[in-house]
Chain A
Amino acid sequence: MPNSDKSYEIVLCMLEIMKTKEAEGKQARVADIADELKRPVDDIEKAVETASKEGWIQRNEDALKLTDKGRLEVKKHREYYIHQKYAHYPGFLGNIGKFFEGKIKDWRGHWHRRHGFNSTALNGFYRNLEDFKGRIEDATPLANLGEGEKGVVAFAMGGYGLIRRLAEMGLTPGVEVTVIRCGLFRGPVEVEVRGVSLALGHGVASKVFVRPSRVKTNEG
């Protein structure tokens, strides 16, 4: 990652929103992005300027368009994000990992050697990242949900066998899960899915990515 300051974060968020709009066949506009990110238009304008300079987007009046380079940047960002946050030990050890992450040149090789992804699994994983709608920060491993929280399965990363087994037990993309209980110390997670309770080991639950359902707080 070239830099990691605040303005770069906004750029990335913008790129991800544009990627989603592109997949939905919608036109991205500065005003819409500002709305979605809940930020002043000026910030977005600044981000657009940075992104244009990097060659990630093209601007035509108000309409914005992602370039191939921009798409690649989104992919890279999502990969970094998942890797850094969830693939190795989260928390303190993850911060140590961050230091080494910059040194990784061959990402496919790293996923393969260190995380045991074979090429089919890896292709599937990249495809999942590519197809992901919205900001990757919206996805979180099932293991991170608290008791009683709900989420909708987005994708599962891991080997072919695991993904299929998960699907057969009912954990297919798009299904809603409710966490019933979590074990102590990174213990297993029990979820309810399709009217059945399933127990997932912590490792398995860390590989299932969900979009947490927002708890409605502003009732009445």
Chain B
Amino acid sequence: MKDKRRLTIALAGNANVGKSVIFNQLTGLNQVVGNWPGKTVERAEGTLYFQGYTINVIDLPGIYSLSTYSMEEIVSRDYIAVEKPDVIINIVDSSALERNLYFTLQLLELEAPIIIDLNQVDFAAKKGMRIDAEKLSKALGIPVVPTVAITGTGIKDLLAEVICVAEEKTKLSPLKVRYGQEIESRLKELESGVRKKLPKLCETYPSRWIAIKLLERDPDVLNRVLAQKQGTEVAASADTLAGEIESIHGEPSSVVMASERYRVANTLAKDVISIVSPPQITLEEKLDAVTAHKVFGYPILVAVMATMFTTIFVGGSFLVGGLEHLFEGILIPAVAKILSGVLPRILVDLINRGVITGIAAGVTIALPYIIPFYIFLAILEDSGYLPRAAFLMDNLMHKIGLHGKAFIPMILGFGCRVPACIGCRIMETERERFLAGFVVTLIPCAAVTVVILGLVGRYVGLHIALALYVFDLILVFALGRLAFKALPGEPVGLLMEMPPYRKPFPKNVLMKTWNRTKDFVYIAFPLIIVGSLVLETLRLTGLIWPLAESTSPVITGWLGLPAVCAIPLFFGILRKELTLILLSELIALNTLTATQMIVFSLVTMIYVPCVATIAALIREYRWKKALFITVFDILLALLLGGIAFRLLSI
């Protein structure tokens, strides 16, 4: 039996409608962000208390339709149909009503209890539109609550309405989308077949919905139908009926149905929108005209990126100093003092150099670099700049078989490769995702930049450091192009919404930063700590020396580096800037020749993406592809390092 005082509600809607703002307004800090089981789709969940109810809120991914174009869409519709949340809040962007209602109509077809949150009514007003919420509510037969998420206006009303629907005080009589006669008659025929022959499937999904999806030739539903006893018969008749619709209209049946839904959405939108004043040319629009301009857009893009990274590096290195002092000067001696009374010295060393140093390594990268980076990123995201950057970079990205959207994970890669790998989710197909992941692991991340600047930049010259950087970018481009040619399959073109500019909402920015940082900590920290423990054990047992020596043919023979360099390179797997720190502890840096420094930096830059990245790769691509990328990167680093050594020694 269901607990009377507990409710589960789901937030559904298009991307860029302020869904996450509503979610944050509803749940505040009580939220958990993770993945849908077995899927690389983010799942955010939170709780709130209202009128004596404990309400569990699920934030469904932002999608445009409930077909099977992407994993997000399948996850969303399965959640709605199978888990049957008590109420679904459909968040609708008032300023783009027609497109949003297209999604609403599909939700209605799933026959779930829906409330419409008419969000961003202030933005619509700016565009000179007024929306008659009552009229819309009457037309759709479901409650409509206007809100302005950023200021929190209307959120209470929204919740009150949720309770009314859950307690069945508000009766829903949702609109049934009527298609054209030629489709309706076939739908009816198919639906009766579905009801008769697929009783089991009808327990989960509405029969009309199954019929609609079958007519649209939805592959996911088709598979489910085929798995049923009499599924083949139904599927065969659906195929014939869909074929008939296609021959009447001369378009794929799904396009015919989409057009029909848009026709309904268009009529609905026209009915409820009244233009009250001419749209003002807002500051946002002017900003859009400049920042996405085909010429001026590029210098602005460079300036934005430069500002972001300079701020992060300057601010970051300042913080790193303080944190290192905190750990090495205060924490480690303190731990040593406390523990040495209880434990043998060797264990104390293990804990100190393994665990504490591991945590220190994580913290000194996370706090100074990752968090500021995430803050910048959230601001860029929430303001709507990233799609513009993607638009500007689309052409270049096509050269490596990706499209503009891939620029977003690539920017992330300059900060840290872990979020970059996760960021590759925005790519549409498996092929694109892998290609983006492959490219992203070669981008010089913050840690690599520290090594390049600290070694080559400081001792050899800034121009050489810059050259290394440029070389890496060329490498990224060349390898991306190679992989693009080598991988089978057609590249997918860019098709992306360009949301209007909006003022970022501080609370949202901080929540995003917080959730992402948590995610980073969960992936990276365990591995960094385990890794440090393993390496520390090797060091304490003395096993590391023979291990380092055994690599000397490669390190000394092939790369021309002092044999001792093997150790920092081992430790660099944990975290790349450790290579520099350890190297400076082992030998005086100025004893290295310029060539050796360049080779060392080059190898550090390319070889193994650090443990945390490998973990992220495994999570996103499964271990096989992760292993491929890792091994490939190691071999590439050795190859290039050797070549560089020989070329520079001439």
Taking Cβ atoms with an 8 Å cutoff, the residues of A that contact B are 116, 120, 124, 127-128, 130-131, 155, 159-170, 172-175, 181-188, 190, 194-204, 207
Contact = CB atoms under 8 A, between A and B. Distances in A.
A181 B387 CA distance: 14
Given A169-B64, A187-B294, A195-B99, A203 B254 contact: no
B630 interface: no
Given A199-B494, A201-B495, A172 B255 contact: yes
B31 interface: no
Contact of A199 (B262, B404, B491): B404
A175 B262 contact: yes
Interface of B: 64-65, 67, 69, 95-99, 102, 246, 250-252, 254-255, 258-259, 262, 266, 292-295, 387, 390-392, 394-395, 398, 403-404, 490-491, 493-500
A172 B259 contact: yes
B418 to A, nearest CB: 28
B262 A194 contact: yes
Contact of A197 (B67, B259, B497): B497
A168 B67 contact: yes
A195 B95 contact: yes
22 contacts: A127-B251, A128-B251, A159-B490, A164-B67, A166-B495, A169-B64, A169-B99, A183-B395, A186-B395, A194-B96, A194-B98, A195-B96, A195-B99, A196-B96, A196-B99, A197-B497, A197-B498, A199-B387, A199-B495, A201-B493, A202-B394, A203-B493
Given A124-B252, A194-B266, A201 B69 contact: no
B296 to A, nearest CB: 11
Nearest to A171: B495
A184 B301 CA distance: 15
A188 B258 contact: no
B598 to A, nearest CB: 35
A187 B395 contact: yes
B390 A160 contact: no
A196 B500 CA distance: 9
Contacts of A163: 251-252, 255
A199 B390 contact: yes
A60 to B, nearest CB: 29
B69 A165 contact: yes
Given A161-B69, A199-B394, 19 more contacts: A164-B67, A165-B495, A167-B262, A168-B64, A183-B294, A184-B395, A187-B294, A194-B96, A195-B99, A196-B96, A196-B99, A199-B497, A199-B498, A200-B494, A201-B404, A202-B394, A202-B398, A203-B491, A204-B495
Across chains A and B, which 3 residue pairs bring their CB atoms closest together, nearest first?
A201-B494, A204-B493, A201-B493
A184 B102 contact: no
Nearest to B391: A199
Most buried by A among B95, B387, B390, B498: B498
A186 B395 CA distance: 8
A146 to B, nearest CB: 12
B389 to A, nearest CB: 11
Contact of A131 (B250, B293, B390): B250
B391 A124 contact: no
Contacts of A204: 493-495
Nearest to B390: A199
A182 B64 CA distance: 24
A71 B498 CA distance: 42
A134 B211 CA distance: 36
A134 to B, nearest CB: 15
A184 B494 CA distance: 15
Contacts of B97: 195
A169 B98 contact: no
Nearest to A206: B493
Contacts of A116: 490
A181 B64 contact: no
A183 B67 contact: no
A184 B404 CA distance: 14
Contacts of B294: 181-184, 187
Nearest to A126: B250
Contact of B398 (A168, A175, A199, A203): A203
B252 A200 contact: no
A164 B252 contact: yes
A172 B392 contact: no
Contacts of B67: 164, 168
Contact of B391 (A120, A186, A190): A190
Contacts of B493: 162, 200-204, 207
Contact of B262 (A165, A172, A197): A172
Contacts of A200: 493-495
A83 B390 CA distance: 30
Nearest to A124: B252
A168 B292 CA distance: 25
Contact of A167 (B254, B395, B490, B494): B254
Contacts of A160: 252
A168 B395 contact: no
Contacts of A173: 251, 255, 259
Given A188-B404, A199-B404, A183 B494 contact: no
Contacts of B258: 164, 167-168, 172
B69 A167 contact: no
Contact of B395 (A131, A161, A162, A185): A185
Contacts of B395: 183-188, 202
B406 to A, nearest CB: 11
Nearest to B388: A199
B286 to A, nearest CB: 14
A201 B394 contact: yes
A183 B392 contact: yes
B495 A187 contact: no
A165 to B, nearest CB: 6
A164 to B, nearest CB: 5
A113 B252 CA distance: 21
B124 to A, nearest CB: 10
Contact of A130 (B64, B250, B500): B250
Nearest to A164: B254
Contacts of B392: 183
A91 B475 CA distance: 32
A195 B98 contact: yes
Given A173-B251, A182-B294, A199-B498, A188 B391 contact: yes
Contacts of A162: 493
A167 B106 CA distance: 14
Contacts of B96: 194-196
Most buried by A among B246, B262, B387: B262
A136 B395 CA distance: 29
Nearest to B247: A127
B262 A187 contact: no
A116 B492 CA distance: 12
Contacts of A165: 69, 495
Contact of B292 (A130, A190, A198, A207): A190
